[in-house]
Chains A and B, each alone.
Chain A
Amino acid sequence: MSTLTNLWPQVAPLVAAAERPSRYIDHEWGCVRKDDADFHFCMIYPDTYEIGQPNQALRILVNAVNARSGMAAERGFLPAPELCDELRRAGLPLFSVESCAPVREFDVVGITLPHELAATNVLEALDLAGIPLHAADRAESDPIVVAGGPCAFNPEPYAPFFDAFNVGEGEEMLPEGLEVVRTMRAQGAHRADILRALADIDGWYVPSLYRWRDEDYARETGAWIEPLVPGIPTRIEKRLYKGFAASSGWEPCIVPYTETVHDRLNVEVLRGCARGCRFCQAGMMYRPVRERSADNIVDAVERGLDATGYDEVSLTSLSTTDHSQIADILTRLNRRYEGSGVRVSIPSQRLDSFGAQMATLVAGRKKGGLTFAPEAGTQRLRDVINKNVTEDDLFGAVDAAFAAGWRRCKLYFMIGLPTETDEDVRGIASLLARTYERARDAVAPDQRGAVKISASVALFVPKAQTPFQWDGQIPPEEALRRVNLLRSSVRYRAIDIRWHDPATSFVEAYMSRAGREGAALVEEAHRRGARFDAWTECFNGDAWRAAAEALGVDMDAVAQTSYPSDYVLPWEHISTGASRRWLVRERRRAECGKSTPDCTFGPCSACGVCALPLQENELASPRVSGEAGEDAVADACERATDGSTPAESASDAAGSTDSSSSTAPEGGVQ
């Protein structure tokens, strides 16, 4: 039986001197220790505790592995940058949370790849752990290092650093793979043989078993990779957790001491989104749509709040207000928790009056901000990106929200979308102005001064596995020109424009589209000091540029080139289930400004995800849109009050004006 070294006595003095030491002390409510385990897995989020601890993947996968007998899963995070340096100075390695054990002592180390800007942190974690950065350099005694998460859908720029990738949902695929490693290690199998066996499991991709070829090879065969051994798949289909809808929404979780980015109970109400926004990777990756039932969700909230003691619950998903039973769910939760100080929140609002109504259901007296995501300023461009909302939808939402008491509203936009012209950029300003006017007119004259509209402008990043994957990003200078055009077109002081630094979006675009050769650049950038790139104050654009120059890498070409749709991209061997043909068709429809309906509300668009057995949308009830949806709300509200006692009805009536819950202004994008 392997035992892990406890580093706490050495680490403690450094922790004592660190900022917010509670991030490093373990002992939280709900954390699991399995001292009898003979197999140890460490799940790392490549950022600090307060950012990584609330991550759903970490929570789900640690639970899934701990559910297996004899296997123990622990958490790992990067310490804050200063503590990383202190540890290096003291000659101490990256440690796990639960056992405070060196990460390199674990049998398997999993690192989630949550976004493109975490790449250098992956190397920071491996380096601090004392694990060889390259899988090829790892010894038999080193852990097998596995990655998963959104960026595993273009794994190539990370490929040399990992022994294997998990493509898709890890609930079943990860424990299955760990069982293989455990069994084979117990038999004394060699690392290479274990990796070969992992390649046979659905969803597992072992990059070292494939040679990275060139554009010509890709044009001929349809993929950049060439298998080096017989019998391994040439195309890795994402794994889907088919039991999601039926599984309990209560996923046991750890209650941190320190304040984290999502300091509340999260209940995942549905997975997937079929709205089909053509820039959105999540919308492609998590198909099909699977809803948990209202009963399941209400039960999960109740059990979760009881078990954790949280006073806030967020109903999370890509599009919570699209849940077919959302009105029923919110009405029941409101009734259940009124007066208890418990807040219910939904991460973002559907862009129509239904969305605003749902927000009102959970908001109560304390109305913070509402978040909507029209993404583009003109109807033409919204049709191009398949954001199936009209100005009337937006204005309906704004009218309803401001009449219901909101005074602030935040709108998300993107600039640099394919086909965007200056007209579209000025269209954002015009839309903002008209939104402000609608909002102003919806409130009493003496409150008009309080009306504020803010717009957050992001630069379009072409994401792998989307219809816009072939479209290049505009250069950072051009992005700034368009932002300035937008700013100078805004007429009202009550409208506030914020934008992201285009330099970081540029690195995102590079990482999103690079092939296996991109890994060398990540390594060089990290060597030159890039880490914590997602932190505005830490982003080191100079390190990236210097690295690109030193290696002779043309980052501009990777980020900014637009390709014809027959161009074979570096991630062509990884599949979300959405077919190439469908992606090409969606791109073509975008060029013609034709939208495609959401298949959970309308007809199937034949994306290909449901072609596989047992793989299709699972809705708790039929979805209805628009006015029909609003009727459904009214119905649900009526049903909710019908069967109640007079006292409860009274409290319901009070609830509409005097409820105690509030909507947290989370930064969700619809």
Chain B
Amino acid sequence: MSAERPFAHAVAPLSGASSHVLADDPERRFRLRCRYVETGRLAFLSHLEVAATLERVVRRARLPFAVSRGFSPHMKIAYGAALPVGIGSVCEIFDVTLTDYVPADQARAALRAATVPDLMIEQCAYVEPRAKAASVAYPFSTYEVRLSRPVDGLVVPDEVRIVRKRKERVLATADYLRGSFVPGPFVPDGPLGLADGVNGCGAGADSPAAATGDCAESEGRVVAAVDGVSAGGWTAAAEGALVGGRAVAAEGALADSLDAAADGALAGGRDAAAKGTLAGGPNAVDGSSADTASACGNAAASAVFHFTLEAKPTGSLRPDVLLRAYLDGADDVRVLSVTRVEQRAEAR
């Protein structure tokens, strides 16, 4: 006899899955990894605000989430590396542990119906329960920057001075910056998303048939080895989001000057960005071989450029801090947007 599932009254399983299981049976845990975007004005959310919001999205989606059994019970949900306030993203991650198998596409649809367009869940796939935590799985982040005008003659600083809690530290840029500033918008290798490089059932994350069939048979041991996350070939299909029958403020974030770039990175904005590259000059060389600061400066003589930072276990260099140091002195240049466009497990 299985005991009553503690959350059974709170959530109706989305699929036909009707197995009654103990919430704390680790063999019956399903770890769903979700990629979402943080666009438009929601780039202003802090990590804690996003975390609290996503937890509410999962509750609203009525997914059969697992609840910890500690002194203070809470949802088993884990977030990717924090994104600084003001920086948008097309490749954020969270993992939520489910106690019932729900086909990934069904989970995705439920999550999409429970969130706003600027915090849209784009992909869902199951990952191995013992896979690396989302927060440390992808230490390499690529950021795309859009400025109000091309800049020339600026130099990526060798060192960045940071003050935290009144303690001043100096970080060596070379310890964190992989390659250098690359002019032009970021172009992923191919349609790289969560599903890319996924083995086994995870590959079926986007094909309902595979997901429901095979995964259920393999006792939910869904294996997904995700190399990296980016917007890849995905478009921001925000139109499908209806919010509880109530009209939602879906007013064009695109119309907002500050938001335009973040959205552009998702949609047709690439063309516009390419023009920026031209304006910046012809020296659009990949920065991977150009290690000296001056070379970086020339390479980035563009209104649009991108760079990759590595997060170290000991700490990381914030992209906005690096950017501020880079633009120090160029007072008339406005940063239109900074967007995390890719997170990778390994350096390119």
Contact = CB atoms under 8 A, between A and B. Distances in A.
Q: Are A and B genuine complex partners?
A: yes
Interface of A: 6, 8-9, 12-13, 15-16, 20-22, 25-34, 98, 252, 255, 257-259, 305-311, 336-342, 365-366, 647-648, 651, 660, 662
B316 to A, nearest CB: 22
A34 B247 contact: yes
Contacts of B55: 309, 311
A31 B250 CA distance: 10
Interface string B74-99: 11000000000110000000000000
Contacts of A26: 41, 249
Contacts of A22: 44-46, 49
B56 A366 contact: no
30 contacts: A12-B256, A16-B44, A16-B86, A21-B86, A22-B45, A22-B49, A26-B41, A26-B249, A27-B40, A27-B116, A27-B249, A28-B116, A30-B246, A255-B56, A257-B42, A258-B46, A259-B48, A259-B52, A308-B60, A309-B56, A309-B60, A309-B114, A310-B59, A339-B23, A339-B73, A340-B67, A341-B75, A366-B71, A648-B4, A651-B4
Nearest to A20: B46
B6 A308 contact: no
Interface string B235-255: 000000001101111110001
Nearest to A27: B249
Nearest to B114: A309
A338 B74 CA distance: 12
B234 interface: no
**In this complex, which of A29, A33, A311, A647 has the most chain B Cβ atoms within 10 angstroms of its Cβ?**
A29
A12 B219 CA distance: 49
Nearest to A15: B44
Contacts of B115: 29
Interface of B: 3-4, 6-7, 9-11, 23, 40-42, 44-46, 48-49, 52-53, 55-60, 62, 67-68, 71-75, 85-86, 114-116, 118, 243-244, 246-251, 255-258, 334
Contact of A365 (B9, B59, B71): B71
A255 B59 CA distance: 13
Contacts of A255: 53, 56
Contacts of B251: 33
B59 A337 contact: no
Contacts of A647: 3-4
Contact of A366 (B57, B72, B334): B72
A311 B59 contact: yes
Contacts of B257: 9, 12
Given A252-B246, A258-B46, 19 more contacts: A12-B41, A12-B258, A13-B334, A16-B86, A21-B86, A25-B41, A27-B116, A29-B53, A30-B243, A30-B246, A33-B249, A257-B52, A306-B62, A307-B244, A309-B57, A339-B67, A340-B6, A366-B71, A660-B67
Given A30-B243, A34-B247, A342 B56 contact: no
A13 B258 CA distance: 8
Contacts of A21: 44, 85-86
A25 B42 contact: yes
**In this complex, which of A32, A252, A309, A648 has the most chain B Cβ atoms within 10 angstroms of its Cβ?**
A309
Contacts of B57: 309
A27 B247 contact: no
Contacts of A336: 9-10
Given A12-B257, A16-B258, A255-B56, A337 B10 contact: yes
A31 B248 contact: yes
Contacts of A252: 246
A310 to B, nearest CB: 7
Nearest to B57: A309
Contact of B56 (A20, A25, A29, A338): A29
A528 B46 CA distance: 35
User: What are the 3 tightest A-B residue pairs by CB atom distance, in nearest-first order?
Assistant: A339-B6, A309-B56, A309-B59
Contact of B45 (A30, A257, A660): A257
Contacts of B49: 22, 257-259
A356 B117 CA distance: 45
A343 B334 CA distance: 45
A259 B60 CA distance: 18
Nearest to B6: A339
A310 B249 contact: no
Given A22-B45, A31-B249, A98-B249, A308 B256 contact: no
A33 B7 contact: no
A359 B269 CA distance: 56
Given A12-B257, A309-B58, A33 B71 contact: no
B246 A32 contact: yes
**In this complex, which of B68, B73, B118 has the most chain A Cβ atoms within 10 angstroms of its Cβ?**
B73
A324 B116 CA distance: 40
B9 A340 contact: yes
A30 B42 contact: no
B120 to A, nearest CB: 12
Nearest to A97: B249
A648 B244 CA distance: 32
A259 B50 CA distance: 11
Contacts of B23: 339
A306 B60 contact: yes
A257 B10 contact: no
A27 B257 CA distance: 16
A12 B148 CA distance: 15
Contacts of A660: 67, 73
A565 to B, nearest CB: 51
A607 B57 CA distance: 48
Contacts of A29: 53, 56, 60, 115-116, 243, 248
Nearest to A29: B116
A131 B255 CA distance: 28
**In this complex, which of B3, B11, B72, B118 has the most chain A Cβ atoms within 10 angstroms of its Cβ?**
B72
A20 B47 CA distance: 11
A246 to B, nearest CB: 23
Nearest to B40: A27
A257 B60 contact: no
Contacts of B255: 6
A105 to B, nearest CB: 17
**In this complex, which of B46, B243, B246, B247 has the most chain A Cβ atoms within 10 angstroms of its Cβ?**
B246
B137 to A, nearest CB: 26
A271 B303 CA distance: 59
A269 to B, nearest CB: 21
Nearest to A6: B255
Contact of B248 (A6, A12, A20, A33): A33
A17 to B, nearest CB: 9
A27 B246 CA distance: 13
A436 B257 CA distance: 61
Contacts of B59: 305, 309-311
Given A22-B45, A31-B249, A309-B57, A341 B244 contact: no
A183 B247 CA distance: 26
Contacts of A16: 44, 86, 258
B89 to A, nearest CB: 15
Contacts of A15: 44
B6 A338 contact: yes
Contacts of A258: 46, 49
A20 B48 CA distance: 11
Contacts of A98: 249
Nearest to B258: A12
B338 to A, nearest CB: 11
A341 B71 CA distance: 11
Nearest to A648: B4
A4 to B, nearest CB: 12
Nearest to B61: A309
Nearest to A8: B256
A88 B296 CA distance: 40
A8 B254 CA distance: 12
B13 to A, nearest CB: 14
A344 to B, nearest CB: 13
A341 B118 contact: no
A252 B247 CA distance: 12
